[in-house]
Amino acid sequence: MNVTTLLALTLSLTASAIGSQSMEVQPIRASVTMEDGRCIFWTGDNGMDANEFRMHLAQIQAKQSIIISHADDAPDRCVVSARRAAKNAGFNRVSVELDNDEAGPIGPPIIVR
């Protein structure tokens, strides 16, 4: 293989790798809070119960990963319930993070296609 062919092949593979990285789907963001003794789950600015949350997540097509934020005062049972709902909805990677700023309504609702 000559140098020109090798260089062209290397550039082609590099461009392909860069292109596939930029096409990577961003993780879905959700959060969980506690209000009046109930767990409230958020994917936008509408709070849901656990069943509504699971059904909403099941409608989302890109299910590679989800990040669930919670405040430090959210009970473990709420966080576990959110994680379980995401797993049952088909998400491959479920991450949970302690983030007081991101817990609660997190902006516009996720558009379900």
The model's pLDDT over 31-57, given as tens digits with 9 standing for 90+, comes to 999 989 999 999 888 899 999 999 999
Instruction: Give CA–CA dist 22/20, Å, rounded.
Output: 6
Q: Is this model's pTM higher than 0.85 or not?
A: no
| Residue 67 near residue 43, CB atoms below 8 Å | no
φ, ψ (nearest 5 deg) of residue 13: -65, -40
As given in the structure block, the two tokens for residue 24 are: 């990577």
* Residue at 81: amino acid letter: S
Which residues are CB-contacts of 37 (< 8 A; sequence separation ≥ 6)?
none
59-111: pLDDT as tens digits: 987 678 999 999 888 899 999 999 999 999 999 999 999 987 656 655 544 54
